[in-house]
Amino acid sequence: MSAERESRRVSTGALPDHAAVDELLARAHADLADVDDGQVSAVYPVLAHADRDAWGLAVAGVDGAIHEAGDARRPFVVMSVSKPFVFALVADELGVGAAADLVGMEATGLPFNALESVRDGDPRTNPMVNAGAIATTALVPGATADERWARIVAGLSAFAGHDLPLDEETYACARETNLRNRALADLLVAAGGLRGDPDEAVDLYTRQCCLQVSAVDLAVMGATLADGGVQPVTGRRVVDAEVARAVLVAMTVAGLYETSGRWLLDVGAPAKSGIGGGLVAVAPGKGAVGAYSPLLDPAGTPVRGAMGAAALARSLGLDVLASRAVDH
């Protein structure tokens, strides 16, 4: 048996003791500090100004313990990492089956903003790609756009355990340059896949992506999903346990877009990335990893974040697909 296999923890059981988690987290962060692969996002011009050296890594357990290294509390815009949590709010309101029927739950195998994902006859995609996320945001309840926005902010803040502020500069930039998302919304309307006003849906989706979080926030938000919808720091139930499970299904299917299959092979945990540099990976029953590094691979995944999650999946036993043979 190889040394790697001997040292790999499996998904059952709990995280190691707190001191061991701190040590393994610090080692993973230090080992990746000099990685300079990838490019900052140019999807929105303001994102191109991100500090390419920023690097934060955090782990939150279902027991409420938080472990962090580097720039783990440095704020950045959540971008697409908002998608699973807004889907959770909608599924908690409408029911898992209804939300999945309306938005879809199948992989597209395409980039996050591909126009080809909206098909005639069946425009449903999944909540992790932009088309499905816009359709999801359109389902957030409320009589007005302000009420829907308040519901989104309150819900994502409940996952994080504190109020999440809006990055006004990024929102203004994204609102002026989000032509691709407007085109996706128009395609959804034409194909019968969007409820309500498309301009409102795109604006709410753009705003949710511009909320500020940190790697610690993402770890805690992920740990809420790992704990069956209960926020492990505040002890508050944010969503139903079946909703938390459904969100993890969506993250498994398409959280890393066209690279989701390879992610499962390398890491083995439901995850979501964002072009703002954020990443969250969840191990149900154990906790979650949150990462921040603006350097992205071609699919929009933070390079150091992915490498850090992979290292911690092996050392902390976050790979939900890994097992060990029983004695016979």
pLDDT at 55 over 90: yes
Class of domain 7-316: alpha beta
Q: How confident is the model at residue 1 (pLDDT cuts 50, 70, 90)?
A: very low
Report pLDDT for 3. Answer: 44
- Taking residue 275's Cβ as centre, other Cβ atoms within 10 Å add up to 24
What CA–CA distance (Å, rounded) separates 187 from 194? 9
pLDDT at 46 over 90: yes
Contacts of residue 74, defined as CB under 8 A and 6 or more positions apart, other chains included, come to: 54, 56, 214, 215, 292
Report pLDDT for 8. Answer: 52
Report pLDDT for 2. Answer: 41
Structure tokens at 73: 């509390």
Q: How confident is the model at residue 111 (pLDDT cuts 50, 70, 90)?
A: confident
Question: pLDDT per residue over 115-152, tens digit each?
Answer: 778 887 788 889 999 999 999 999 999 999 999 999 99
For the chain, the domains span 7-316
Report pLDDT for 6. Answer: 43
Report pLDDT for 264. Answer: 96
pLDDT at 10 over 80: no
Output the CA torsion 292→77→235→281 (10° steps): -40
Least confident of 87-101, 111-125, 150-164, 215-229: 111-125
What CA–CA distance (Å, rounded) separates 78 from 248? 18
Report pLDDT for 84. Answer: 98
Report pLDDT for 327. Answer: 73
pLDDT at 101 over 60: yes
13-41: average pLDDT = 95
Select the highest-mean-pLDDT range: 7-21, 150-164, 175-189. 150-164
Question: pLDDT per residue over 218-227, tens digit each?
Answer: 999 999 999 9
Task: Specify the higher pLDDT residue, 2 or 36.
Answer: 36
C-alpha dist (Å) from residue 108 to 35, 114, 131, 265: 30, 9, 11, 18
Residue 186 burial (C-beta neighbours within 10 Å; 0-12, 13-18, 19+)? middle
Question: pLDDT per residue over 60-79, tens digit each?
Answer: 999 999 999 999 999 999 99
Output the CA torsion 301→303→306→307 (10° steps): 170
In DSSP terms, 319 is beta-bridged to none
Answer for the pair 151, 89: CB distance below 8 angstroms, yes or no. yes
What CA–CA distance (Å, rounded) separates 27 from 191? 50
Question: pLDDT per residue over 258-300, tens digit each?
Answer: 999 999 999 999 999 999 999 999 999 999 999 999 999 999 9
Answer for the pair 312, 9: CB distance below 8 angstroms, yes or no. no
Three-state SS for 271?
strand
Structure tokens at 183: 């085109």
Please identify which residue in the block is written with the tokens 């909540």: 127
Mean pLDDT of the chain: 93
**Residue-wise DSSP of 193-261:** ---S-HHHHHHHHHHHHTBEE-HHHHHHHHHHHHTTTB-TTT--B-S-HHHHHHHHHHHHHHTTGGGHH
Contacts of residue 1, defined as CB under 8 A and 6 or more positions apart, other chains included, come to: none
190-209: average pLDDT = 95
Least confident of 191-195, 242-246, 256-260: 191-195
What CA–CA distance (Å, rounded) separates 251 from 270? 5
Q: How confident is the model at residue 11 (pLDDT cuts 50, 70, 90)?
A: low
Answer for the pair 279, 320: CB distance below 8 angstroms, yes or no. no
Structure tokens at 204: 């709410």
Report pLDDT for 9. Answer: 58
What CA–CA distance (Å, rounded) separates 251 from 85? 10
Structure tokens at 86: 């807004």
187-200: average pLDDT = 93
CA atoms within 13 A on the CB side of 238: 36
